[in-house]
Amino acid sequence: MAMVLCAASAACGGPASSPDAAEDAASDGAMVMDAAVEREASVEPDATSGDGASVDAAVLAPVERATIARRTDSCVGAPTEFGAYGAITQYDRYALANPAWVGPSPTAVQVFAPVGGAATRPVLFYSHAFGGSDWTRVRSLIEFLVSNDYAVVFTPYATLGATVCQRYDTLWGGHSLAVDRLGARVGMDTTRVGFIGHSFGGGASPWLATEAVRARGWGSNGVFVMPNAPWYSFRMDAARWATLPASARLHVMVFADDTTNDHRIAIEDQWTPFSGAKQWITLVSDRNDACMLSADHVVPSTDSDRMDSVRFDALDTWGVWRHAHAVADCALRGRATACALIDGSNPLAQTAMGTWTSNGAPVARAQRSDAPTAPMPSSAYMFSVTQRSMYPCDGRGG
């Protein structure tokens, strides 16, 4: 199936919050295609069956043992530290039916466990963009993180037929389930946890991190939140933010040519209310001959078993991968060189984006800011900072 991720539709950021609105949104072509991907993903034989308990018992054995495909961008040289693949070459993938799922076509929680490495390792929880329940869209990012000896949990949520809050609860239910069912088996150290999310998942990540700390006591030895191009953050107030330990880190990454989610959302919902150690990084577009780097909303959702075209480039390796690796190694492993890069004490290293292989010229640097602003007026974005009331989050939660 040919598909463009996050075309000009609600699939790029915020969902419809009522059945009537969901039906209206479904009329958009890109939404329909995203929903089709979700339905295809949900029929994997390892995902669910009529008897959820029996499936959970069965999937305690891995669905597959996979070899990590070590990808490189032919246009830009690969990073040599942070953003570089680690020593792990294989991983076991598990699939778990999620009892917290709300919506049609239940889709399995995916758990990726390094083969070899340390007896225990930190856990990274990935929350995908709206319409991105097919985990293979971010396969390369997941495999990269696993190669550096992190366990990764990918929890899908429904594109249609669920409210904002129900999607939050689906995410939390899946993340918790993965730890409860497989934590001991695959060596998850929940005293060290990170929450990475894109778009809708980026907006949800602060609440998920605070829930992990508040409800489960995770993150006592390290916790970070890394939202990419985030949509609105719900269920967050001053008391919630205060549940994060003083050592928690926030690493916001946005994309200069993203016209989907207003950068003011990230500023108002995450950057401003978080009082701890934080960094703001903006990736920018660049071009060299036939090589093009587009810093738009779909970074890093760049590969899929169900897409005819794949765009993998240095915005993945030097941008999202490198910074995710560094913030994880800093916050969860206390690695001094990682902290120096994340803290901005070495700004040239922090904003480096590599060199073009054709002529050795530097790629346009990322931008860091201690006082971020949006590059365009709110009217230029599909989801502006003023539209939050159109997508209320009512429901269970904590």
Q: Concatenated DSSP letters for 250-306?
A: EEEEEETT--SB-HHHHIIIIITT--SEEEEEEE--EEETTEEE--STTTT----TT
Give pLDDT, residue 398: 58
**Angstrom distance (rounded) from CA 390 to CA 227:** 22
DSSP state of 29: H
Q: Determine the pLDDT at residue 345.
A: 86
Query: Phi then psi for 276, rounded to 5 degrees?
Result: -90, -160
Which amino acid does the sequence have at 160?
L
CA-closest candidate to residue 363, choices 372, 354, 371: 354
DSSP state at residue 129: P
Q: Which residues contact 304 (CB under 8 A, 6 or more apart)?
A: 3, 37, 134, 136, 137, 139, 310
Give me the pLDDT at residue 221, please: 98
Which contiguous run of DSSP H or E holds residue 48?
A: none
Query: What is 19-374+381-388's CATH number?
Result: 3.40.50.1820
Distance CA 78, CA 219 (A): 31
Q: Which residues contact 300 (CB under 8 A, 6 or more apart)?
A: 138, 140, 141, 198, 228, 315, 316, 319, 320, 321
Place of tokens 């040919």: 2
- The pLDDT value given to residue 138: 92
Going from the C-alpha of 300 to that of each of 7, 13, 251, 315, the distances in angstroms are: 15, 14, 16, 7
| Locus of tokens 């997508």 | 391
The pLDDT of residue 11: 38
**Mean pLDDT of successive 10-residue segments in the chain (398 residues)?**
35 40 33 34 36 46 95 92 95 97 96 97 97 91 97 97 96 98 97 98 98 97 98 96 97 97 97 97 95 91 53 92 97 96 89 95 96 94 93 74
The answer to whether 78 touches 316, Cβ cutoff 8 Å, is no
Residues contacting 351, CB < 8 A, separation 6+: 281, 365, 366, 367, 368
CB atoms near residue 237 (< 10 Å):
8
Alpha-carbon distances, residue 221 vs 194, 202, 214, 252, 276 (angstroms): 11, 22, 14, 21, 16
Domain parsing of the chain, residue ranges: 19-374+381-388
Show Cβ contacts of residue 43 under 8 Å, excluding neighbours closer than 6 positions.
Answer: none
**Residue 76 to residue 318: CA distance in whole angstroms:** 9
